Structure 1
Amino acid sequence: MAGVGSVDIELELIQWLQAKAAPGVVVRDEVDNQLLAELPTIQVQRLAAGGDDGFRLDRALVDVDVYHSTRGEAIALAAQVRGWLLTDLPGAVTAAAVFGRVSTASPPAVRPYENTALRRVGATYQIYSHPVS
């Protein structure tokens, strides 16, 4: 049996979201200097928070930021991502993880970003998962 937290939640969510997103949408864990040329981008980062149930179930808090060329497009894509996470992710199984309950800890909202040529909308989700047996 794998230890608690042995699911790389960022990697699993990146791969899962890439399969859901339209062609041309970049899904990644870090942004770089090429961000403006790679819009739209979905960024997935686990926060240093959460916990476990003392057995195998990991409770991760995950920030999902959407970067797009306009505020409206960023809001729309963030809403679509939220829908996928809340309705399609619970019960999903990947090669490495089984996903359980998903909830919104902080709903999508415009977040500041230093580059005014793009817009950022972010949300925080609480995601329960455990390794595949």
Structure 2
Amino acid sequence: MATQPTTPAPVVTAWAGWVWFGATMLVTLGLFQVIQALVALLDDGFAVALESGLVVFDLNTWGWTHLAIGALLVIAGIGVFAGALWGRVIGVIVAAISILVQITVLPVYPIWALIVIVLDSFVIYALIVHGEEVRAA
């Protein structure tokens, strides 16, 4: 009887905690995006115009964009918690899009935008570098 060659199982290290952090941040950042979207949609005075103008031209479109990104971040976070590859892929893509969208907020709310950009960057790092370890768990 011939035996099938087996591939070694991936080793789970303490770095897998980065992936759990990434998944938690995906859900948290998604909820922040949803809150930001609801404020933009419900409060017309949310965006403060600068002398040089605001990058955002239509506050409703901006709010719906944040709402969609927030929902996708939450869904991706749930996928990462489940150990699904699609969750990691969507998480990286949407976190990168979130960074780009936060650039539109930067002139008006620089501290908020910078915090979200830094957290999105950590999420991308965690999911790309250490994501495979969670599949092994």
- Note whether the superposition's TM-score is higher than 0.5: no
Indicate the structure with greater helix content. Answer: 2
TM-score normalised by length of structure 1: 0.32
More strand, by proportion: 1
- Bigger CA radius of gyration: 2
| TM-score, normalisation: structure 2 | 0.31
Q: Which has the higher contact order (CA 8 A, sep 6+)?
A: 2
